[in-house]
Amino acid sequence: GDSVTQMEGPVTLSEEAFLTINCTYTATGYPSLFWYVQYPGEGLQLLLKATKADDKGSNKGFEATYRKETTSFHLEKGSVQVSDSAVYFCALTLMNTGFQKLVFGTGTRLLVSP
């Protein structure tokens, strides 16, 4: 079946450090890939997405590149801030299934200290 695997957290960083959160996927078809963020007490917000191989999604200083050869979509940010502390979810959806279904990873908690 379709699945997403993320690195386990928590990831603990100091402010201005470089961030990488690994994400790999298994899909029966050609997926679109997403990163969602969940701040404490809130719902999920789309952070960025990529719909085809070699696409780079970016938003708020975060980036991720769709690597079909390694089935990966790693999230990176050059300099994290305390306000980036949240849980990050990698997800995929398949086209041409007749409906929208997001398949999520288990999430990675990021803690950024001043």
Partner 1 sequence: DAGVTQSPTHLIKTRGQHVTLRCSPISGHKSVSWYQQVLGQGPQFIFQYYEKEERGRGNFPDRFSARQFPNYSSELNVNALLLGDSALYLCASSPYGQGTYEQYFGPGTRLTVT
Which residues of the shown chain bind partner 1 in the complex (CB under 8 A)? 4, 32, 36, 41-46, 49, 51, 89, 91, 93, 95-107
Minimal distance in Å, beta carbon 74 to partner 1? 17
Pick 17 or 65: Cβ nearer partner 1: 65
CA distance 7 to 20: 10
Minimal distance in Å, beta carbon 15 to partner 1? 26
Minimal distance in Å, beta carbon 10 to partner 1? 12
CA distance 25 to 21: 13
Pick 89 or 112: Cβ nearer partner 1: 89
Tell me if residue 70 falls in helix, strand or coil.
coil
CA distance 50 to 66: 6
Q: Are 11 and 113 in contact (CB under 8 A)?
A: no
Pick 18 or 30: Cβ nearer partner 1: 30
